Amino acid sequence: MFAFMSHNHRDKPHVTPFAAKMKLVGAQIWLDEWEIFPGDTIVGKVNQALDAVDTLLLFWSSGAAASNWVNTEMEAALTRKLSEGDLRIIPIKLDDTPLPPLLRPLMYVSLEDGADIDAAVRRILRIGSQAELLMAMQQTIAEAGIEYHYFGAMGVMVGCPECGAPSSELKGHQEIDDRRDDVYQLVTCPYCGWSDASEI
């Protein structure tokens, strides 16, 4: 699947994690913040992408319904679907805003009221269970040869988020806050000094 993520900028907190999970399972994703760089023509890049993808994921919300960009992307996708028939359009509802009349016959995916992103990704990619989703993610990581380390409460890290030092160089240790009787997992980078902690 090569999917274009059509959305309103206010919906980024829903769209970006969704796109990342799709990508981690092996889908090719076109997301504006990942594909448009300084100096690029926005209209040209979007037009090129809408011509190349095989799927349009339309994240529908009150913000999307009021967005000229989203409506233009939707119209271009519908035109391509009607003239060429080679584009799959999947509406993803983020709130109770009604779908446009031309999209109402299509089966949609709901992310309303905090619905499970993993379940929505599995449904779109036709992955049967959560275990299969996790195995697909693990396979992608293994095939990419990504080096990662587990730092307890801080979780899995592939590198320093500040300078990009590899995870093998990061230092993890635990500290105890005697006043609060709490234990913390700390991770620090010896190169740039970045540090973060999470309560165990």
Q: Residue holding tokens 């990942």?
A: 34
Domain 2-144 annotated CATH 3.40.50.10140: yes
Which of 148, 200, 3, 17 is closest to 89 using CA atoms? 3
Which of 84, 120, 118 is closest to 107 using CA atoms? 120
Note the pLDDT of residue 87: 95
Q: Residue holding tokens 């206010």?
A: 10
**Above 90 in pLDDT, residue 147?**
no
**Above 90 in pLDDT, residue 76?**
yes
Count the neighbouring beta carbons within 10 Å of the beta carbon of residue 61: 23
For 25-72, write each residue's pLDDT tens digit: 989 999 999 999 999 999 999 999 999 999 999 999 999 999 999 999
Residue-range domain boundaries for the chain: 2-144, 149-199
For 175-188, write each residue's pLDDT tens digit: 888 888 888 889 99
pTM exceeding 0.85: no
Q: Residue holding tokens 């939707």?
A: 74
* Residues in a beta bridge with 172: 187
